[in-house]
Each structure stands twice: as C-alpha cells, then as structure tokens.
A = this chain, B = another copy of it.
Amino acid sequence: MEKTLVKSLYRETEKFVNKDIKISGWVRTIRNSKSFAFIELNDGSFFKNVQIVLDDKLENFKEIIKLSISSSISVEGTLVLTPESKQPFEVKANGVFLEGSSSSDYPLQKKRHTLEYLRTIAHLRSRSNTFSAVFRVRSIAAYAIHKFFQERDFVYVNTPIITGSDCEGAGEMFRLTTLDLNNIPKKEDKSVDFSKDFFGKETNLTVSGQLSAETMALAFRNVYTFGPTFRAEDSNTARHAAEFWMIEPEMAFAELKDYMDTAEDLVKYVINYVLEKAPEEMAFFNSFIDKSLFDRLNNVANSEFGRITYTEAVDILQKSNASFQYPVEWGIDLQTEHERYLTEKVFKKPIFVTDYPKAIKAFYMRENEDGKTVAAADLLVPGVGEIVGGSQREERLNILEKRIEELGLNKTDYWWYLELRKYGETKHSGFGLGFERILMYITGMSNIRDVIPFPRTPGSAEF
C-alpha cells in the first residue's frame, strides 16, 4: 500500500474517511490503559499530529506501548471521524511496525523546555512544536519571496559570497584563507604574502550583494538577490547573527517611490502568503509566542504604509513630549526608540522615513537637490523598528566620484561600479531586507538564534 502523508489526511480528509491507509512517522507521545493505547504520531509533513488508536489484539501491542519517544513507526489502519473529540479524526491501527527505535534518554520529552536549552540540541529541536512551526514558516516565507519577484519578472541573481574587495562598506568582514596559519608566508617587508593565498590576494566574505546586483539590474532591469551575508561584528544581541540571509532587489529606471511601492507590496505579500499557507503554525505562534501577532500582522497587511521625510520625523519627535534617551536634532541617526515612537505612537502603522541627511548614509545613495539629503528610505514597523533599508542609487558619475573622494575611499577599488555610470548611467533604486528580521516579525520569535537552524554568533559555531 502507498504511504499517505499526514498533511493529506488533514487537508483532504473526506477522501480517506473509513478507508484503509498507511502512514509513517515519529512517536510524539504514547498513553495507554489496559487494553487500549493512543499514539500521537507526527510524520514531518504537517504541524499537527495524528492520533493512532491501538488495542491489545495487536500481536505486538506490548512491545509498541513501551517504545521511547521519537521512535519511528509505520501504521496501517482505518481513518475514522471523531466529531466529539478535539481532533477531527483518528486512525484505528490494524498493524503497527517499528521502523527505528529511540533511546529512553531522548532529550525532548513532553514538557516545556526553554528556548536556550533547545539551542543546545539544535539537531533535534526541529522535532518540537515551536521549531517545527518556525522552520516550516521560514521555508514558506522564502518561497513567497521568490514567487513575488518571479511573478514580476525580476531575475534572481547569485552575487558572490567570496569578495576580492573590502569596498562593500556595510560592516566588519571575515577573512578567508588557505594559508597555513602556523606558517604564514611573508614578503620582504614582513607583511603577509597574499599572492600565495588561494585567490592570489586578500579575500573576505560578502557583507552585501548590492554593488554586484546593480551590475545585473543595468542589464536585466529588475533583479533580486537572496543569499547568505556575513558580519564579523562582535555584537551579542538578540537581533544580530554573524551569518544571515538577505534579499536585495535592484531596479533600473526606478526612483525612490518605486522602491517603496515594491517593498510595501513585498512585505504584505509575504505576510499574506504565510498566513494562507501555514494557518496551523501561525495560530500556534499567536497562542503561544505572541498573543498580539495576528492583530499586528493584519494591521500591516491592511494599512497603506505612511511616508514622511526625515525632516518631518525630526520635527514630530522634537514637538512630542516623549522623553528619549538619545536627544533628537536634525542630523542624528534615528535610534530604535525614535523609530518605534514614530511607528507605534504617532502613525500606528508601518511608515517609510525618507530623505535622510547624507552624512549618515552610504556613499552610493543619490544626492537630493538640496545638497544636504539623499534619496534614501527606511521602512519602520510597529514592534520592531527598521526592517527594510533602501535608496535611489547615485547614477551621476561626477557626483558619485566626488562622494567617494570626500569619504576618503579609493576610486580604483570601485572601477567597475563607476563604469556602470560611464556606460549608460540609468536611474535605479534598490533595497535590502534581512530575511531573519522579517521572520522574527512574522513569527513573533524574539531571538534571531531561534529562526536560524544552526545560528552563528560571536563565540558560537556549533553543529
């Protein structure tokens, strides 16, 4: 008999009522009385378990009821509706077969474990309800992002992970090497001889694919990256990881408004897609992780996002009676307290803050007419603060070169980036969305370590 997935039993129950079926999965719990036993079985295909009913006429009844949690079994039986029970149906077993046994010291017994403890058994934690929900939602959200862009004819580009330059400017980098660290080749002046390294020069792990993505946008018009990025920053917070995934769309013939329209559509699309495709997981988060989750997500999905300039934002903050740890004046970088005040207290919905002072933004952002601000925008959402950052890119060669010089950067490092402006300079805009940031927002999980299967943080690269 062909095996059926538990997901099918739940989603197309009517097809299976009173029919013989075969399933396989892992034992989550066993309860037994003298002549009956109930197994909660999870087969991995679905968040919910299916209840298996055994009676002692099964020849291996005594053996089965002694199985340890997480043993894997296959079951042949009949699906029967159970309208009086909390679960909609159960499977009356005609045969239960041991596939693989588990040891009785299985660490995920049926009791509450702290998230901290579960991180120490990251190889097993996906078998718990919380992480089964988190990582299935991660998969569905990733697909939603691809689907959104592919439906809009954006070209998916894989920008390089290994970079030969440290000119991406977005953060501290990890160096990559095949040199023997116990015996580093040196040049005559005693400095490291990188010509002996694998790539013949210094290389690092990327902190952003943006500059490479721009080269592709100027060929394909609309492109997006979705890949891992790295920061060697020694910040041990709940929101920072050394390895995380980013989505970086880049659009030619697009101004700041086009980026904001696209980012707003994207965020709403992903939220709606996950709510539709993972209703059981989302209900779990709303019940057990963050009781305001549905309210918050529905608010985002149904609001028209606000748009104010940085100068207006500073004005609002200064005129407010709120007391901030960091005082507000034009020119400062907005802190999370300011961002949350604006989006939570003032607007009560997501807002884009646009046109930041150029001194606090990156060299590649397009200078506005006023000479003081740049065409940048950050998306702030209630409960978190910034989740998207983006800008129109400076396409004017002379202004970009001037900016690079002003900041003391080395123009030759950017030769190919500058050539994009020399050969058909074109208005273009783009943004970056941290995948884990939006996952935390969608699931209510408050630590980035709990939305990455095997997180990498300072001092920790386990598994």
Contact = CB atoms under 8 A, between A and B. Distances in A.
A453 B146 contact: no
A242 B162 contact: yes
A182 B178 contact: no
Nearest to A128: B219
A210 interface: no
A174 B177 CA distance: 6
A56 interface: no
Contacts of A421: 100
Nearest to A156: B139
Query: Taking the full assembly, how many copies of this chain does it contain?
Result: 2
Given A103-B423, A423-B70, A136 B155 contact: yes
B253 A216 contact: no
Given A161-B230, A199-B460, 6 more contacts: A44-B220, A122-B215, A142-B156, A160-B453, A198-B242, A215-B453
Interface stretch (A13-21, A263-271, A305-313, A424-432): A424-432
Contacts of A135: 155, 157, 216, 219-220
Interface string A154-175: 0111111111100000001011
A181 B182 contact: no
Given A44-B252, A423-B102, A461-B201, A228 B161 contact: yes
A395 B153 CA distance: 43
A257 interface: no
A427 B99 contact: yes
Contacts of A426: 26, 72, 99-100
Interface in A410-427: 416-417, 419-427
Contact of A232 (B100, B160, B198, B245): B198
B184 A156 contact: no
Nearest to A5: B153
